[in-house]
């Protein structure tokens, strides 16, 4: 048996691994706690495990973090790590501290195949899915390195958003065990309400997530009609808005929160007019229980797009709020360290010519006048 990285096993998987080593399944719980609750990487630290088991583990397994390429700390406390996942690929995780919570934004793929028009990761093209251990390694490293630097043994990360690089629902098989480890009381012990999967709208996988591991759901909407969304989120051609909203409603039957969050990236002159705000009201009101999150676009040179002005974002928000839709405008964080997803990794490698394709295909806007 080749040495395996134990960061890749949820508790069930670790129990099966312990059985293969001729050990009782309950040993897995002790081991799991050492790894995820205490951040141990060295089997010799695990003082309540028999020496014979530690010897076997040393022989057959390891606990290995992803190499850190860089760490950037913003003046607002946001921290962004760039991790090496081999073959010239890198992924990012971002820690966002707030007074009442600490949120970690985690990546699920190296690059992304969806190719959203405004997304730096989409411009880099798709390289590969991350394994479960590579998803969890971002959390494991962030949580335990933050505890060390803050001099605490208490949990630092209280919320996780699968909103970094990649479309998590296109890496479903690796995602679900990672989510289970985040939720497990012997692991990170986060409530389902505090773990959010963000998707561009992979309808069949929304249905599966609802059955397998319902956590909070955020959907990248970005447009109130199919022609515009087709251009901004190409997956819309496969799963148009009406199908997506139906899937969201079905998801709510089992969701830990009683609303879906719709993300809407504000692009100057593209999707930010008062008319489109009215369309959004018409689309969502009394259709799906939801909250709207308006996101100021974090411009990057290859996009050819601009951030909407604050006035325009406010005017857009007001239309929604007046109509009774719960709407927030996301604060920009870590601007000084390029904290929007994919911006650092894009400097490491551009694996495809996707960015050129997209820059050459300008977004055609009907009924929206550029400011």
Task: Please enumerate, by residue number, every residue annotated as part of a binding site.
Answer: 112, 116, 119, 166-167, 198, 220-222, 298
Report if residue 103 touches ligand SF4, rule: CB under 6 A.
Answer: no
Stretch that binds ligand SF4, among 25-33, 55-63, 161-169, 272-280 (CB under 6 A): 161-169
Interface residue with ligand SF4, options 167, 184, 272, 338 (CB under 6 A): 167
Residues tagged active-site: 92, 341
Closest CA to 57 of 89, 94, 14: 14
Distance CA 63, CA 43 (A): 9
Rounded Cα distance, 89 and 24, in Å: 38
In the list 37, 132, 171, 220, the residue contacting ligand SF4 (rule: CB under 6 A) is: 220
Spell out the alpha helix ranges (H) of the chain. 11-20, 26-32, 51-60, 120-124, 132-150, 172-183, 203-212, 226-232, 241-252, 274-284, 310-322, 345-348, 354-359
Binding site per annotation, positions for S-adenosyl-L-methionine: 166-167, 198, 220-222, 298
Contact between residue 115 and residue 156 where contact means Cβ atoms under 8 Å apart: no
37 vs 220 by CB, closer to ligand SF4: 220
Q: Are 173 and 146 in contact (CB under 8 A)?
A: no
Buried b (16+ CB within 10 A) or exposed e, 12-28: ebbbebbeeeebeeebb
Instruction: Count the neighbouring beta carbons within 10 Å of the beta carbon of residue 285.
Output: 13
One character per residue 104-143, x = contact with ligand SF4 (rule: CB under 6 A): --------x-xxx--x-xx---------------------
Please give the residues from 37 up to 66 whose contact with ligand SF4 meets the rule CB under 6 A.
none
Among residues 215, 70, 261, 92, which one has the least CA distance to residue 164? 92
Q: With binding defined as CB under 6 A, does residue 271 bind ligand SF4?
A: no
Residue 18 or residue 217: which is nearer to ligand SF4 going by CB? Answer: 217
Is residue 165 involved in binding ligand SF4 (CB under 6 A)? yes
Region from 36-44, 72-80, 82-90, 165-173 binding ligand SF4, contact rule CB under 6 A: 165-173
Q: Which of 166, 177, 214, 224 binds ligand SF4 (CB under 6 A)?
A: 166
CB 175 within 8 Å of CB 135: yes
Smallest gap from Cβ 163 to ligand SF4, in A, equals 8
- Looking at the Cβ atoms of 119 and 244, the one nearer to ligand SF4 is 119
Question: Binding string to ligand SF4 for residues 197 to 216, with x set by CB under 6 A, is what?
Answer: ---x----------------
Annotated binding site for [4Fe-4S] cluster: 112, 116, 119
Tokens 């043994």 -> residue: 153
Sites of contact with ligand SF4 (CB under 6 A): 112, 114-116, 119, 121-122, 165-167, 200, 220
């Amino acid at each position: 048996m080749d040495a395996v990285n134990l960061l890749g096993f949820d508790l069930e998987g670790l129990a099966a691994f312990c059985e293969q080593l001729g050990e009782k399944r309950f040993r897995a719980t002790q081991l799991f706690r050492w790894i995820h609750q205490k951040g141990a990487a060295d089997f010799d630290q695990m003082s309540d495990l028999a020496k014979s088991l530690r010897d076997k583990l040393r022989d057959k397994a390891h606990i290995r973090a992803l190499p850190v390429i860089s760490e950037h700390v913003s003046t607002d406390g946001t921290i962004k790590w760039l991790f090496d996942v081999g073959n010239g690929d890198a992924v990012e995780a971002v820690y966002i501290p707030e007074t009442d919570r600490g949120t970690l934004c985690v990546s699920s793929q190296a690059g992304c195949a969806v190719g959203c028009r405004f997304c730096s990761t989409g411009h880099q093209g798709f390289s590969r899915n991350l394994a479960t251990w590579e998803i969890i390694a971002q959390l494991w490293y962030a949580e335990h390195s933050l505890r060390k630097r803050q001099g605490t043994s208490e949990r630092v990360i209280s919320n996780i958003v699968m909103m970094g690089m990649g479309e998590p629902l296109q890496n479903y098989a690796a995602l679900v065990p990672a989510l289970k480890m985040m939720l497990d009381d012997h692991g990170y012990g986060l409530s389902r309400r505090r773990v959010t999967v963000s998707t561009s709208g992979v309808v069949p996988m929304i249905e599966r997530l609802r059955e397998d591991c319902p956590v909070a759901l955020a959907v990248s909407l970005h447009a109130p009609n199919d022609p515009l969304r087709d251009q901004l989120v190409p997956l819309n051609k496969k799963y148009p808005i009406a199908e997506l909203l139906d899937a969201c409603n079905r998801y709510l039957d089992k969701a830990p929160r009683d609303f879906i969050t719709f993300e809407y990236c504000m692009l100057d002159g593209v999707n930010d007019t008062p008319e489109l705000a009215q369309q959004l009201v018409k689309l969502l009101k009394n259709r799906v229980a939801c909250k709207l999150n308006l996101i100021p676009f974090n411009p990057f040179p290859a996009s050819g797009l601009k951030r909407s002005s604050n006035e325009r974002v406010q005017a857009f928000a007001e239309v929604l709020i007046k109509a009774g839709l719960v709407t927030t405008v996301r604060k920009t964080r870590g601007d000084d360290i390029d904290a929007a997803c994919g911006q650092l990794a894009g400097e490491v490698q551009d694996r495809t010519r996707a960015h050129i394709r997209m820059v050459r295909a300008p977004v055609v806007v009907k009924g929206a006048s550029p400011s």
